[in-house]
Amino acid sequence: MSLLPLDETASPRPHPPAEAGRRTPGATAARRVLVLLPLLLLAVWAALDRRAVHDGAVRLAGADPWWLLLGLLFTYLGAVAAACVRQGAVPERLPPGPLVASQIAAGAANHVLPASIGAHAVTVRFLLRQGVPLPRATASIALYALVRAVAKAPLVVVFVLAAPAAAPPVRLLPEGRTLVLAAVGLLLAPAAAAALCLLVRPLRRPALEFVRTALTDARRLHTRPARFLPLWGGAVAAPLFQASVVASVGTALGLPMSWPQLLFAFLAASTAAGAVPAPGGIGPVDAALVFTLAGYGTPLPLATATVIGYRALTVWVPLLPGMLVLSALVQRKLL
C-alpha cells in the first residue's frame, strides 16, 4: 500500500520550466554568427565589386564635396521616409529611434538580396520583436510595397504636367507590342497567384488569412490620420529623396541639366526599371538612368559618372554603417 497521498499518486508533477533568461551555448554561438554575418557579406560584396568601387572613387575625386555631402544627407532622409511608411502600415505604435535604425539596416540588407527581400526580412523581424503578429507584419509588407509603387507613378505625371520642359526628348513608354506584353504580365501574375492558392490546399487558408488581415488593416489605417498621413507622405517623399541624390551628384559633377530635369530623369528611370528583380535595383535602374540622362544630351561618360556617384552615395558609403547598425540591432535583440 502506498504511503503517498491520493492526489500525489495520480500523476507525477511536471518539471519546472527552464529559466527564461538562460541561453544555451548553441544559441549564443548562433547569435554571434548573426552579428558577424553582415560584415562578412559586406567584405564579399566589396571584393566582387572592387572595380566599380575604384572607378566610382576616381570619377568622384574631382566633384564638389559639398554637393556630395548633401546627396548623402538625402540618402539618410530616405531611411526616415521609409520608417514613416513602415509606421503607417501597422496599427501598433513603434519606437521611432529603433524604427529608423531598422530601416538603415534594412537598406544595407536590401543590397544583398534581390527584389527588396533583405529589407522586408529585416523589417518583419523587427515588427515581430515589437509584438506585431506575423500575419499583420506580412500584411504591412504588402501594403508598404503597394503604396510605394502607387505613389511613384503620379509623381512622374505631376512632373510632366507641372514642368513639361523637364521631360526628355525621348520616348518614355515602350512600343505597342512591348506595352501589351507588359500589361498582360501584370494581369497574369495576380491571376496565377490566386489560382495557385485555390489549387494547393495547404496554401489556401494562410492566403485567405493574409488577404483578410491586409484588407482589414488597410481599411483601419486609412481611418486614422496618424497612420495614413505618414504612410502616403513617406511614400511620396522617398522617391523624391532618391531623385535628389541623383540631382546632387549631377550638380557636383557639373552636369548640364536643371534640378527638375535630374529629378524627373530618376523618377522615370526607376519607374520603368522597377519591375526587374535585382539587388537594390542595381543594374536595371542604372542602365535606364544612363539612357535617360543621355536622352537630355548628356555625354555618356558624364552620365555614367553620375550613376556611379549615385550608387556610391546610396550603396557603398552607407553599406558599412548599415551593416554595423544591423549587427547592433541583432546584438540588442531588436532583430
Q: Three cell numbers at 152? A: 511613384
pLDDT of residue 123: 92
Residue 179 CA to residue 176 CA, distance in Å, equals 5
pLDDT tens, residue by residue, 179-196: 454 455 555 555 655 565
HEC profile for 283-332? CHHHHHHHHHHHHCCCCHHHHHHHHHHHHHHHHHHHHHHHHHHHHHHHHC
Name 206's Cβ contacts closer than 8 Å, sequence gap at least 6: none
Question: Global pTM?
Answer: 0.73
Secondary structure letter of residue 313 according to DSSP: I
Q: How far is CA 129 from the centre of its chain?
A: 19
Residue whose C-alpha is closest to residue 107's, from 140, 127, 129, 81: 81
pLDDT of residue 125: 92
pLDDT tens, residue by residue, 18-30: 444 455 655 555 5
pLDDT tens, residue by residue, 288-304: 788 888 878 888 788 88
Q: In sequence order, what are the beta bridge partners of 279? A: 114
DSSP secondary structure string, 191-203?
HHHHHHHHHSHHH
Residue 335 CA to residue 332 CA, distance in Å, equals 8
Question: Within 13 Å and on the Cβ side, how many CA atoms surround 106?
Answer: 28
Q: Give 278's pLDDT tier (boundaries 50, 70, 90).
A: very low
DSSP three-state, residue 229: helix
pLDDT tens, residue by residue, 198-249: 565 665 566 666 667 777 778 888 888 998 899 999 999 999 999 999 999 9
Choice between 45 and 81, residue whose per-residue pLDDT is larger: 81
HEC profile for 143-163? HHHHHHHHHHHHHHHHHHHHC
Decide: 82 and 234 in contact? Cβ < 8 Å: yes
DSSP secondary structure string, 176-190?
HHHHHHHHHHHHHHH
- Give the Å distances, CA to CA, from 89 to 81, 190, 226: 13, 21, 11
What ranges do the domains of the chain cover?
A: 50-331
pLDDT of residue 126: 94
pLDDT of residue 246: 93
Residue 271 CA to residue 255 CA, distance in Å, equals 22
Residue 331 CA to residue 34 CA, distance in Å, equals 9
